[in-house]
Structure 1
Amino acid sequence: MQFHGDDKNGSGLVPSSRTPLLLHACCGPCSIEPVELLRREGFEPTICWTNPNIQPVAEHDRRLATLRAWAADVAHVDVIVAGDNRSAWETGVAPHGFDRAARCRACYALRLAEACRTARELGFTHISTTLAVSPYQLFETCGDVLAKTAAAYGLTPVWRDFRPYYPEATRTSRDLGMYRQNYCGCRFSAAEAAVERHEARDRRKAEREAAHAAASVAAAR
């Protein structure tokens, strides 16, 4: 287990008025709003990185590096690198393949279990996740997994709907020049995202062609 960062809000100490919370993070851009909003609510987050789903390894390392740079230079929040059990992901998650509902539930369970284990080991009482930011995640499923996993580890889940802040997080991350990925993380999500982008391009093309045809008909009248 590795720690990164030694400063909380520039003071070197967790403010006594805030409740320490371990925040599982899937990437840097999705961490922006949760850290800020949780601080406003009275928590002091420490980020926990455990994402064995992210493939290939170079993509995993790039996302982690982006998170660490933002955490140290902008957010002033500590980052804990917990376990990334890729073998467990391959045996417990990958067999679900393109059954997204089953695959994502198993993936959430694996990652959040490691985050909860880390939280209990380090003495945290509260746990949350940045997976509640992206509108592309299975929100209700993730919330259910977090609640059950936190209870199993004797932790208090802090589940918030951060999705309304996704556009703001997108703008902020772009303004900061942060690396932004275009798929959730695993090879199955990469393939699904590629299909969705292709279908979106086809729809836009069809709409342009329809508009052009309508304009041509109108001009010929």
Structure 2
Amino acid sequence: MRILVHICCAPCALYSFPRLREEFDEVMGLWYNPNIHPFQEYQKRLKSVKKWAKETHAKVIYEDEYGLRDFLRKVVYRESQRCQICYYMRFKKVALFARRGKFDYFGSTLLSSPHQNQKLMREVAEAVGEEYSIKPYLKSFREGWRESRELSKRMGLYHQQYCGCIYSEEERYIKRRKNVQGEIF
């Protein structure tokens, strides 16, 4: 069996790929992340994924288009649904590539992150799988998140501080200000 896995970042891929190789005959990755802002952040994450792929001999397709405008067009005035839209965009892309490449499943390293909404991701992945006639692989690898972070630090891989989108970046700074100042006025 073959699986094509959307890669959100190197630390999340680091733990999940070896486990997927135990279950599948072929595991291939797809880099596609139109939500990441700013461009320098996008470049850091992409560079880190390329370094990880080279060091671990992972096969990765790089859909290296900076798709921020498309992401923002879909999300503007629907900010409360941004995660659902973002998951849909990325899962749709990996599902289409997987179907064209005759893979049996599609998946995402996003399922490794404790910061992502597992329930929503599963719902979106199932809907995309049904829409594009390919099975989603929905196993969570959250149990290895800490191990993955530690190993990725030893490998010198980049560690992001937010999911990637401008809204998440804003929330990160608001939380930081609240911690420093107490209450925001």
TM-score over 0.5 for the pair = yes
Match for 2:51 among 57, 69, 73? 69
Higher relative contact order (CA 8 A, sep 6+): 2
Instruction: Note the alpha carbon deviations across 1:14-39, whole angstroms, 9 max, x for none.
Output: xxxxx221000101111011101111
1:83–1:114 CA contact under 8 A, matched in 2: no
Gaps of 5+ in 1: 1-18, 204-221
TM-score norm. by structure 1 comes to 0.76
What are the residue-to-residue correspondences of 1:39-188 with 2, within 5 Å?
Answer: 39-73=21-55, 75-82=56-63, 84=65, 85-97=67-79, 99=80, 102-188=81-167
Partner Cα separation in structure 2 for residue 117 and residue 95 of structure 1: 27
String of CA shifts for 1:163-197, please: whole Å, max 9, x gaps: 11111111111111111010100111001122233
User: Which amino acid in 1 is paired with 2:173?
Assistant: A
Kindly tell me: are residues 83 and 122 of structure 1, through their superposed partners in 2, closer, same or farther at Cα, counting changes over 3 Å? farther
Give the aligned residue type for 1:42: F
- TM-score with structure 2 setting the length: 0.90
Superposed CA offset, 1:120-141 (max 9, x none) = 1222121010111111111100
Q: Percent identity?
A: 30
What whole-Å deviation, never above 9, does each CA across 1:134-163 have from its counterpart, x for those lacking one? 111111001111111012111111101111
Deviates more, 1:33-42 or 1:82-91: 82-91
- Aligned in 2, Cα 1:156/1:192: closer, same or farther, shift over 3 Å? same
Q: How many residues align?
A: 181
Letter in 2 for 1:182: Q
Task: Calculate the aligned-residue CA RMSD, in Å.
Answer: 1.7
